[in-house]
């Protein structure tokens, strides 16, 4: 068994990575920005599975500051760099996200290299692969990169430039340290705690009746538990060194299909889920006054397909049926009291 650092242990993907590693018998250290959240994280993990959290250490480190990272990576065999800077408001300019994301990745990689970590697994995103391209029918693969010279949202730009900086660092200054990158599409699945991850907000708003009609696009989705499993496979499998891996469960789903699955699987508890899809022309027009639709302008009227055949072929990874994940996402939100509020 190995000593593994997981950055961002209280995040949606990070907490599931911690749980998956502990369940597999590894010793885990995880970073948080505020140590007051340690009891909360431990309570989530204990509630989710009967495991020995004595093998878990929680330390303070912030991607935007140098303090704490040398101690965080000390004596670790592997690093899962899951954490990424986020903003709770629209950025004034792209650099508000790009610079912290890129510098945070480099900060972790430098500390990992100096501590002689064997391999870093970087959590990137589909947003670093499939944005800013002309229309296409073929699924996106790991050979694709988002076009950062195009008119693309700040988050996708930050993920792309941060990942490119990581690969360049390992080539130029890595000292033999290995790197793999994971590219999840839209991440759904059950919560470990009562947080409100951005990737689950679409399902939450559907349950609350706050999506009167679905935006007209489709994309891939994947279960957070399968994303954590892929991180662990990429951590140890020799075939993962130097590779990128998309994580997606099957073909893309239209947003209106997610609403249909919710109604089919949850019945009256999902009665407020929408039944209609907006016409593309109307969605574009509404984007002038709706910031969320404006951010989706590159996707409207499109189905962004991607394939996980590489992860399946090289690492033996398999994703669970996304219909089950959508239903379990909703069940988990309702169990935590999220999504049960009346529609406005």
* CA gap 29, 58 in Å, rounded: 6
Residue 216 confidence (pLDDT): 95
Run means of pLDDT, 10 residues per run, the chain, 344 residues:
97 97 97 96 93 92 95 98 73 77 96 98 97 89 95 90 98 98 98 90 95 95 98 98 97 96 97 95 90 83 95 98 98 87 46
DSSP 15-76: HHHHHHHHHTT-EEEEEES-GGGHHHHHHHHHHH----GGGEEEEE--TTS-TTHHHHHTT-
Residue 194 confidence (pLDDT): 85
Domains and CATH numbers, the chain: 3-190+220-251+305-320 (3.40.50.720)
- 113, 157, 159, 231: the active-site residue: 159
Beta bridge partners of residue 183, listed in sequence order: 246
DSSP 274: -
Q: Give the three-class secondary structure for 66.
A: coil
Beta bridge partners of residue 244, listed in sequence order: 181
**In 3D, which of 218, 252, 249, 254 has the Cα closest to residue 325?**
249
Unique residue bearing structure tokens 């997610």: 258
Pair of tokens at residue 215: 């935006």
**In 3D, which of 246, 66, 243, 237 has the Cα closest to residue 170?**
243
156-193 residues labelled b (16+ CB within 10 A) or e (exposed): bbbbbbbbbbbeebbeeebeebbbbbbbbbbbbbbbbb
Pair of tokens at residue 305: 């397909």
Rounded to the nearest 5°, which phi and psi values hold at 202? -60, -45
Do the Cβ atoms of 229 and 317 come closer than 8 Å?
A: yes
Q: Taking the model in full, what pTM does it have?
A: 0.95
Residue 158 confidence (pLDDT): 93
* CA gap 82, 74 in Å, rounded: 18
Residue 343 confidence (pLDDT): 44
Unique residue bearing structure tokens 């988050």: 155
Residue 138 confidence (pLDDT): 92
Unique residue bearing structure tokens 């040398």: 70
Residue 245 confidence (pLDDT): 98
Rounded to the nearest 5°, which phi and psi values hold at 210? -100, 10
Report angle CA 344, 202, 198 to the nearest 5 degrees: 110
**In 3D, which of 121, 233, 128 has the Cα closest to residue 177?**
121
Residue 340 confidence (pLDDT): 61
Note if 159 is an active site residue: yes
């Amino acid at each position: 068994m190995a000593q593994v650092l997981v950055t961002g242990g209280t995040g949606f993907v990070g907490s599931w990575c911690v749980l998956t590693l502990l369940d597999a018998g590894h010793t885990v250290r995880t970073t948080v920005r505020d140590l007051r959240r340690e009891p909360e994280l431990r309570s989530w993990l204990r509630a989710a599975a009967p495991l020995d959290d004595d093998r878990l250490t929680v330390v303070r480190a912030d991607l935007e500051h140098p303090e704490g990272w040398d101690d965080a990576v000390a004596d670790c065999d592997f690093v899962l760099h899951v954490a990424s800077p986020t903003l709770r408001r629209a950025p004034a300019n792209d650099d508000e996200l790009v610079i912290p994301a890129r510098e945070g990745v480099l900060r972790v990689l430098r500390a990992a290299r100096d501590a002689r970590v064997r391999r870093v697994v970087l959590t990137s995103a589909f947003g670093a692969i499939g944005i800013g391209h002309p229309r296409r029918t073929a699924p996106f693969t790991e050979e694709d990169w988002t076009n950062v010279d195009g008119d693309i949202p700040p988050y996708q730009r930050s993920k792309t430039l941060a990942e490119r900086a990581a690969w360049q660092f390992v080539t130029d200054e890595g000292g033999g340290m290995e790197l793999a990158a994971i590219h999840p599409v839209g991440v759904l699945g059950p919560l470990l705690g009562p947080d409100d991850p951005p990737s689950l907000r679409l399902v939450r708003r559907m349950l609350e009746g706050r999506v009167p009609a679905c935006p007209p696009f489709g994309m891939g989705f994947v279960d957070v538990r399968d994303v954590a499993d892929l991180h662990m496979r990429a951590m140890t499998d020799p075939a993962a060194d130097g590779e990128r891996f998309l994580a997606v469960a099957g073909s893309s789903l239209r947003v209106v299909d997610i609403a249909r699955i919710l109604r089919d699987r949850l019945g009256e508890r999902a009665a407020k889920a929408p039944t209609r899809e907006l016409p593309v022309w109307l969605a574009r027009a509404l984007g002038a006054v709706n910031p969320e639709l404006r951010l989706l302008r590159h996707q409207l009227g499109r189905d962004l397909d991607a394939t996980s055949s590489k992860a399946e072929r090289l690492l033996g990874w398999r994703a669970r049926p996304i219909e089950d994940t959508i239903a379990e996402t909703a069940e988990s939100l309702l169990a935590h009291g999220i999504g049960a509020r009346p529609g406005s």
